[in-house]
Amino acid sequence: MTDRANLWWKGACVYQIYPRSFADSNGDGVGDLAGITAHLDHVASLGVDAIWISPFFTSPMRDFGYDVADYCDVDPIFGTLSDFDALVARAHALGLKVMIDMVFAHTSDQHAWFSESRADRTNAKSDWYVWRDANPDGTPPNNWQSVFGGPAWTWDARRQQYYMHQFLKEQPQLNCHNPAVQEACLDALRFWLARGVDGFRLDALNHAMFDPDFTDNPPAPESDKPRTRSYDFQLKTKSMNHPDVVGFVERIAAVCNAAGASFTVAEIGGDDAVTLMKAYTAGEARLNSAYSFDFLYADKLTPDLVIKTQAQWTGAPDADGPDTANMAEGWPSWAFENHDAPRHISRWVGEADRPAYARLTMALLFALRGNPFLYQGQELGLTQDEIPFELLQDPEAIANWPLTLSRDGVRTPMPWQASAGHGGFTASHPWLPLSPANIARAVDVQEGDPDSQLNWTRRLLAIRRAQPALLTGALDHAVAKGDLLTFTRREAGDVVHCAFNLGAGTMPYTAPIGATLLALNGATPTSLPPYSALFIRA
């Protein structure tokens, strides 16, 4: 049995890199692995513990890498396996662990597995994907809908059957109920572990299995949430979230544990996500952590929201269901933005307050119990870019324009040099445009400003690293009073009291007696100005 408290990942800060948009080394307008390697010194300078690289595998790029055509090779857009090996070597030399994204709910329709599976109904991989006969009237087998809109079924003339896809039709559903499919996925993990990878983020893991009886999903009850896709009209109780995913999770964990102290984190969204997150991470034989969506799509940050999220993960034994009863609770991970979710400061505060608010939310993220995940550019305070329809790349945004939020606005390239063309990202035309406002926030501009978001990020991470309570301690005494949020982190004899003013007005405050670790945006032991924070070590 593994002692989780001694593993590198517990309390680690992970920096997400979206490879298309990080740095372009060859001037084709798309970021690549060599570009990442060339800028790892910047990442290491922040004080983070690991990088997570979004998919760079062979892919037709219909969903920009999340449609995998070969799990064990690098797409030429991003480079070669040798480029990946050089990236891992450089990261490790800088003290950074390397995590990569693995997508096991679906592949590309260009994957060799799918080409064989669709050829006929009797081949060796005929049941590696999800095939069903049409209803007598030719309609799809059931009412399941895809995340991107429309039925989760597409007719294939070769097999005279429908195949299932929970996302794009170019992303056919893997049949992860099949042990042979699971083993093939585990082989992909082994391949990358052998090349030095230290951990995995497992994309859309709760989509990996479904009701094998193909029962219709029930309708969703009325709510105040807008419905922009047919997917929004159903409760996805049958098309995803199948309890047998737990068995697959345990096989994944066994492979990773056999390779050493690797880090596994599940992405779990949708209905009843917290219950699934706990099931997938309970005990020592499952995944290490789960990646929360609680903040990623929240339209407002409030003390009540923070307290609600933290109350879901107390460290107490899990008792949610028969397969997790009395098992040790897993460890949470938190993010305020990522490649799918808009820049948080554009969602949560007005333009004039964004510099102070970016510092505040960084302090809050690093004070939560769990692993903080930073998305590239968050350390610069980048804002959401508005991409006009004619420049959109995101297939979901194009299909549902203008009623769904474009993911392209958070995927625009990193600005490295304010005076260079395209912010120093590329020597040619970038795949997405950079806004002048974000170019003005470039790394080289912020390096020389001690009060920049970049340098505050470094200071805040240094404080976090120096305090065991902030890394792995319990979180208790959480209180919300209007815009005031307070809580205490404690690990053995190390105690840190944290106070945050999430509002635009100054409020009086009486800090506990102790040494001031952080006084952000003018905070004092007796007063918290707008968007300020105070950490006191007791």
pLDDT in tens, 162-221: 999 999 999 999 999 999 999 999 999 999 999 999 999 999 999 999 999 999 999 999
pLDDT at 397: 85
Contact criterion met (CB below 8 Å) for 330 and 287: yes
The string of DSSP codes covering 301-366 is --HHHHHHHHHT--SSPB-SSTTTTTBPP-EEEEES--SSS--HHHHHS-GGGHHHHHHHHHHHHH
Confidence tier at 320 by pLDDT (50, 70, 90): low
Band (1; pLDDT cuts 50, 70, 90) = very low
Per the omega criterion (within 30 degrees of 0), is the bond before 402 cis?
A: yes
Secondary structure of residue 528 in the 3-state scheme: strand
Mean pLDDT of the 409-437 span = 97
Could you list the active site residues?
Answer: 203, 267
Rounded alpha-carbon distances, angstroms, from residue 283 to 311, 320, 368, 390: 19, 12, 22, 49
Q: Tell me, what's the pLDDT at 289?
A: 97
Q: pLDDT band for position 5 (50/70/90)?
A: very low
With pLDDT > 70 as the criterion, what percentage of the chain qualifies? Answer: 97
Q: What is the mean pLDDT of the chain?
A: 95
Residue 457 has pLDDT above 60, yes or no: yes
Residue 261 pLDDT: 74
pLDDT of res. 405: 66
- pLDDT above 70 (res 404): no
At residue 396 the predicted structure's pLDDT band, cuts being 50, 70 and 90, is confident
pLDDT confidence band for 271 (50 / 70 / 90):
confident
pLDDT of residue 224: 86
Q: What is the pTM of this model?
A: 0.96
- The whole-number pLDDT of residue 4 equals 45
* Mean pLDDT confidence for 230-238: 95
Does residue 533 have a pLDDT over 70?
Answer: yes
pLDDT digits (tens, 9 = 90+) for 465-517: 999 999 999 999 999 999 999 999 999 999 999 999 999 999 999 999 999 99
Structure tokens at 394: 């995101």
C-alpha atoms less than 13 angstroms from C-alpha of 514 in its C-beta half-sphere: 18
Q: What are phi and psi of 454, to 5 degrees?
A: -60, -50
Contacts of 469 (CB under 8 A, 6+ apart): 489, 490, 491, 494, 495, 496
The strand order across the sheet containing 153-156 reads 131-132, 161-164, 153-156
Neighbours of 69 (CB within 10 A): 21
What is the structure's pLDDT at 325?
Answer: 56
pLDDT of residue 270 exceeding 90? no
Domains and CATH numbers, the chain: 4-105+178-460 (3.20.20.80), 475-537 (2.60.40.1180)
> What pLDDT is attached to residue 399?
82
Q: Which of 193-202, 265-274, 342-351, 434-443 has the lowest mean pLDDT?
A: 265-274
Q: How far apart are the first and last CA of the chain?
A: 34
- The full 3-state SS of 133-178, as one line of letters, equals CCCCCCCCCCCCECCCCCECEEEECCCCEEEECCCCCCCCEECCCC
- Rounded to whole angstroms, the Cα distance separating 376 from 387 reads 18
Output 399 or 160, whichever has higher pLDDT.
160
- Split at pLDDT 50, 70, 90, the class of 121 is very high
Range from 58-67, 156-165, 259-268 carrying the lowest mean pLDDT = 259-268
Stretch 350-364: mean pLDDT: 98
SS3 content of the chain, % helix, strand, coil (to 5): 30, 20, 50
In the predicted model, is pLDDT for residue 322 greater than 50?
Answer: no
Judged by DSSP in three states, 536 sits in strand
Amino acid 526: pLDDT: 97
Residue at 235: amino acid letter: L
